[in-house]
Amino acid sequence: MLTLTKENLTEYLKNRIDFLDYSHPLTISAVGEGSIEEDGDGFINFVFRVSDGTHNIIIKQCRPNSRMVEAFQSLPVDRCELEYDTMMIRKAIVPEYVPELYYIDHDNKVFITEDVSYLRIMRFQLIKSAQFENFARHISRYMASTAFYTSEYYLETSDFRDLSVRFMNDGMRQIMDNLMFLVKRSDHDPVGAELDPDFARFARKVVYDEKVMLERYKLRHIFVTKGECLIHGDLHTSNIFLGEDDLKVIDMEYTFCGPISYDMGYLLNNFIAQYASAAFRPFDSENQRKEYQQYILQTIHDVFQGFCQEFIKYWNEDAKDIYQNLPELQEDFVSTTLSETFGFAASANLSRCAGAVSFPDFDAIENPVQKHNALCLSIIISKQLLLQRENYLSVDDVIKDIIGIEYIYKSNITEW
Ligand code: ADP
Ligand code: MG
């Protein structure tokens, strides 16, 4: 495998990308050299930006070793093809939400796409309390259409099975199988390892609560075995680029046929975190804090509702005959989606808040006491959602619980 560098990249591109203007030196940078706001918080792949002044492209090389984590030395390199192919499938369904695809090199595990950094990485805008009015509409359309049209509600059963086999992706999935759910107590368990002792004690108490563990094992089993549609697998807010009325999704190497509710749940983890972070980070006024928190709750609500409405719309229009005229099945779909989505959101939130990898959603809080409070609130909300998820009748019940938990938490710390 040729190792791409800034030095050999121009030669590499000359034989492969004919629309670039090579009459002047290309501008080349490696992701990781810029700020986190520009370059994101990805840590696996080697990514370069190249511009000739007119065209801006991204070159992503999937090597066996990770760019940032030394322990990752034998990552599966076929993730390159899997990511490219899942992007192509999504491009066919919702072209407006996927960067342009230009080239794949099977020998060197490289693919080339449009650089969409004229848009902003969502996570770092949310940290600054930015609001995106159209986000919920776009993301629910993206998620619902890619889920429905790769599911067996739409595809011929044998085609759906071929899709599941093609995207088995065992190697990459193993990372998430454990990271987002596994909570076995052991001497090497990372829970709280790198956190301050008070917080670590608190986090362990929640993470090792037997009822919490039980729910997370149930969810892990759903994640591992319920192959309903081709999911993205890592749909967090750093993998979403946004403008006023524009959205692009990147970084799909964890793709496989998984639960319909997983991507939405995993994404809403970031919104639970933002809600808890906004409860304690500095704002110019309490009114502004309230308004921002309200925006976050509205987004959670609209993403969930929008997803279900869009999915049912595609179902009514395009599902196979055997799945038509079954309103009870659709009702069951919505209630299962509700309990799974907020289960996955809460489980991912616990892993991120109490895990060893830093969680940038809380980085805007410099005061250590307030950061501690925000993380604790996020964890308590997640515990509640995990334990109550099967009792919720609608997303409004979830929102009520989030507000109620914040009220109780804040009342308690004021009394201390
Ligand atoms: P990783 O799997 O290592 O997270 P990503 O695909 O997320 O790899 O790429 C890492 C970073 O490179 C992203 O956070 C983003 O900043 C940048 N990047 C990747 N693809 C694009 C793209 N199509 N347009 C703009 N920036 C991109
Ligand atoms: Mg990434």
pLDDT in tens, 222-241: 999 999 999 999 999 999 99
pLDDT score at 26:
98
Q: Does the pLDDT value for residue 47 go beyond 70?
A: yes
pLDDT at 193 over 60: no
Dist. CA 46–CA 49, nearest whole Å: 10
Mean pLDDT of the region 323-344: 98
Is the minimum distance from the CB of 238 to ligand 1 under 6 angstroms? yes
Tell me the CA–centroid distance for residue 227 and ligand 2, in Å: 23
Q: Letter for the amino acid at 25? A: P
Tell me if 281 sits within 8 A of 364, measured CB to CB.
yes
Q: What is the pTM of this model?
A: 0.96
In the block, tokens 């009220």 appear at 407
Whether 116 lines ligand 1, by a CB cut-off of 6 Å, is yes
Highest mean pLDDT (candidates 37-46, 162-171, 365-374): 162-171
Q: Which atom, in ligand 1's list, is nearest to the CA of 40? A: 14
| Out of 41-55, 191-205, 259-273, 391-405, least confident range | 191-205
Percent of the chain with pLDDT over 90: 86
Please indicate whether residue 239, judged by its CB atom, sits closer than 6 Å to ligand 1: yes
Q: How far does residue 239's CA lie from ligand 2's centre (Å)?
A: 5
Cβ–Cβ < 8 Å for 44, 72: yes
Under a CB-based contact definition with an 8 Å cutoff, are residues 341 and 381 in contact? no
Please give the number of the atom of ligand 1 that sits closest to the Cα of 38. Answer: 16
Q: Residue 269: is it exposed, middle or buried by C-beta count within 10 angstroms (0-12/13-18/19+)?
A: buried
pLDDT bin (cut points 50, 70, 90) of residue 195 is low
Nearest residue CA, atom 4 of ligand 1?
A: 42
CB-count exposure of residue 195 (10 Å: 0-12, 13-18, 19+): buried
**pLDDT for the residue numbered 415:** 57
Q: 44 C-alpha to center of ligand 1: Å?
A: 10
Residue 172 phi, psi (nearest 5)? -70, -35
Residue 257 has pLDDT above 90, yes or no: yes
Long-range contacts of 317-324 (CB under 8 A, 24+ apart): 318/148, 318/149, 318/154, 319/153, 319/154, 320/153, 320/154, 320/156, 323/153
- 71-91: average pLDDT: 95
Judge contact between 265 and 181, C-beta under 8 A.
no
Is the shortest distance between the CB of 45 and ligand 1 below 6 Å? yes
> What is the band of 185 on the pLDDT scale with cuts at 50, 70, 90?
low
Which one-letter DSSP state was computed for residue 95? G
Model confidence at 35: pLDDT above 90: no
Quick one: average pLDDT of 37-48? 87
Is the Cβ–Cβ distance between 270 and 300 less than 8 Å?
Answer: no
99 in ligand 1 pocket by Cβ < 6 Å? yes
43 lines ligand 1 (CB under 6 A): yes
| CB of 61 sitting under 6 A from ligand 1 | no
Mean pLDDT of 148-160: 98
How would you classify the pairing of strands 110-114 and 247-249? unpaired
Q: How far apart (Å, rounded) are the C-alpha atoms in residues 296 and 378? A: 14
Average pLDDT, the chain: 94
Please name which of 375, 380, 407 lies closest in space to residue 206, comparing C-alpha atoms.
Answer: 380
- Give nearest CA residue, ligand 1 atom 1: 42
> Is residue 99 helix, strand or coil?
coil
When mean pLDDT is compared across 20-29, 96-105, 139-148, 359-368, the lowest value belongs to: 359-368
- Measured in Å, residue 48 CA sits from the centre of ligand 2 at 13
**42 close to ligand 1 (CB < 6 Angstrom):** yes
* Overall average pLDDT of the 53-60 stretch: 98
